[in-house]
């Protein structure tokens, strides 16, 4: 890719050129006994996950792939566990598509803790440990407070956003329909909040949804070694109801 960065759907800016060469290290317990674990889009710890609708969330959300050796080969349908809990596989007509984090609740997945991803396939295995950021709490506005389209809102929080990663913390705003559990994309540019403790912006048109879903993404230390690539990320969330 010729561009130095690209926007991904999770709502943060991923500095590709920097990240792939960041060498941000990883825990000494990381192992590659034939399998490489890729969590390049991050493993999110979700506050108030959406549990209804077509795309429910678990307490974690991630796109994880497992491949042989250095991760350059095809994806393998390995057994994947996080903190000892197996993540169900997604399959269609016998074709392996990935892992379904919405169908599992992972214990001890907390801010300030660690996530240990372990993969096994035949005689091969691999293990990747990700360190999650310390807790960040949105202090304003209050969850389920009311506002109108075009209102200026200030989102403020307590906690550190800066970690050993080139991936930037940001705020994403979507429309949300509680009855169906569905989210909708809005005309809203993600807000990069590096080095900030608050951010002010105007609420976009809801396009028919009854409330806004405001997510603050806080990426943790990036791990990039022979065992795999990835990071743990806090997803701190509030709802703002339309007047």
Number of neighbours of residue 112 by Cβ within 10 angstroms: 11
Same domain, 160 and 87: no
Strands 95-99, 89-92: pairing kind = antiparallel
The pLDDT of 203-209, averaged and rounded, is 97
> Is 189 found in the same domain as 94?
no
**Residue that finishes a domain, picked among 131, 160, 180:** 131
Report how many domains make up the chain.
2
Same-domain status, 122 and 172? no
> Residue 153: is the preceding peptide bond cis (ω within 30°)?
no
Query: What is the per-residue pLDDT across 96-125, written as a single tens digit (0 to 9) for each?
Result: 999 999 999 998 999 999 999 999 999 999
| Statement to judge: residues 76 and 27 lie in one domain | yes
Q: Are residues 43 and 115 in the same domain?
A: yes
Class of residue 97 by CB neighbours under 10 A (exposed 0-12, middle 13-18, buried 19+):
exposed
- Asked, for residue 103, whether it belongs to a domain, the answer is yes
Tell whether 181 is covered by a domain.
yes
DSSP letters of 126-155? EEEEEEPPPP-EEEESPTTEEE-TT-EEEE
Question: Both tokens of residue 124?
Answer: 């091969």
Residue 18's pLDDT is what?
38
Domain end among 107, 131, 155: 131
Model pTM score: 0.86
Residue percentage of the chain with pLDDT more than 90: 80
d(CA 13, CA 97): 25
Token code pair at residue 164: 């050993």
Residue 158, classified by CB atoms within 10 Å of its CB into exposed (0-12), middle (13-18) or buried (19+), is exposed
């Amino acid at each position: 890719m010729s561009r130095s960065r690209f926007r991904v759907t999770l709502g943060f800016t991923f500095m590709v050129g920097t990240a792939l060469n960041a060498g941000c290290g990883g825990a000494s317990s990381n192992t590659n006994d034939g399998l490489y674990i890729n969590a390049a889009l991050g493993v999110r710890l979700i506050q108030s996950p959406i549990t209804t609708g077509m795309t429910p969330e678990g307490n974690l959300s991630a796109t994880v792939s497992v491949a042989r050796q250095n991760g350059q080969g095809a994806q393998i349908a390995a057994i994947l566990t996080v903190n000892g809990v197996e993540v169900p596989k997604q399959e269609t007509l016998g074709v392996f598509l990935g892992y379904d984090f919405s169908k599992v609740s992972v214990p001890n997945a907390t801010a300030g803790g660690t996530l240990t991803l372990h993969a096994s396939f035949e005689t091969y295995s691999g293990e990747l440990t990700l360190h999650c950021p310390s807790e960040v709490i949105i202090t304003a506005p209050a969850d389920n407070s009311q506002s109108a389209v075009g209102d200026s809102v200030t989102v403020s929080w307590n906690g550190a956003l800066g970690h050993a990663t080139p991936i930037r913390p940001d705020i994403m705003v979507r429309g949300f329909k509680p009855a169906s559990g569905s989210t909708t994309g809005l005309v809203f540019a993600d807000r990069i909040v590096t080095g900030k403790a608050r951010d002010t912006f105007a609420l976009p048109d809801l396009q028919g949804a009854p409330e806004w879903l405001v997510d603050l993404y806080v990426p943790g230390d990036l791990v990039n070694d022979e065992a795999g690539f990835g990071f743990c990320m806090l997803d701190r969330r509030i709802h703002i109801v339309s007047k």
